[in-house]
Amino acid sequence: MQSVMFLAFQPNCGSMEKSACGYPKDEEKREKMKRTILKDWKTRLSYFLQNSSTPGKPKANKKGKQQAFIKPSPEEAQLWSETFDELLANKYGLAAFRAFLKSEFCEENIEFWLACEDFKKTKSPQKLNSKARKIYTDFIEKEAPKEINIDFQTKTMIAQNIEEATTGCFITAQKRVYSLMENNSYPRFLESEFYQDLCKKPQITREPQAT
């Protein structure tokens, strides 16, 4: 986790080797690592947004309708900090948060949550069963490719429930993953430089008055 990487004890500067600029070399390394991680995160986010739907360039969906991925105004972005649901309800915000989780190597949480949201809307019993088994093999079973962090008891309950799948099969696991994101990843996202930049209002430059 990038937040863990940035935490370090404060060493005794008198006993450390100094760089030419007067800063401890270990501190320079940490700052360099921080800049590298931030740059990588921004690159991942940019790539993810472009491949989801490029802002300003409408993308056709299966029905032929055009979908625009519009960058929010500072006022709209500020609403995301009010509740986690505000962020998830915004397509740009959801994509940004998903890219942020990818940078922290825990994107399986939002992918599982989205899969559950789609699963709950499924009407066909046949599709319900096939989707339930796919979610189980992708996210729940031991050593699943996108295994989420839930307790053994919940996993066992899900394994039993998918034998006769209903829309409530994953509700307990989904709530726990939602809580994990809301209490851990969401606050870090709000503190991220990318989100802070979205909330900044453009500065109005005034031309000097003629004397």
Print the SS3 string covering the chain: CHHHHCCCCCCCHHHCCECCCCCEHHHHHHHHHHHHHHHHHHHHHHHHHHHHCCCCCCEECCCCCEECCCCCCHHHHHHCCCCHHHHHHCHHHHHHHHHHHHHCCCCHHHHHHHHHHHHHCCCCHHHHHHHHHHHHHHHHCCCCCCCCCCCHHHHHHHHHHHHHCCCCCCHHHHHHHHHHHHHHHHHHHHHCHHHHHHHCCCCCCCCCCCC
Per-position b or e across 121-151, b if 16+ CB within 10 A of its CB? ebeeeeebbebbeebbebbbeeebeeebebe
Confidence at 106, pLDDT banded by 50, 70, 90: very high
pLDDT band for position 153 (cuts 50, 70, 90): very high
**pLDDT for position 27:** 72
Share of the chain above pLDDT 90, in %: 56
Least Cα distance to 150 among 118, 105, 95, 108 occurs for 108
> Does position 131 have pLDDT exceeding 70, yes or no?
yes
Q: What pLDDT score does 39 carry?
A: 65
Which pLDDT belongs to residue 70?
80
What's residue 192's pLDDT? 92
Indicate whether 199 pLDDT > 80: yes
What the chain holds in terms of domains, given with CATH numbers, is 108-180 (1.10.167.10)
| Per-residue model confidence as pLDDT tens digits over 16-41 | 443 333 435 577 776 666 566 666 66
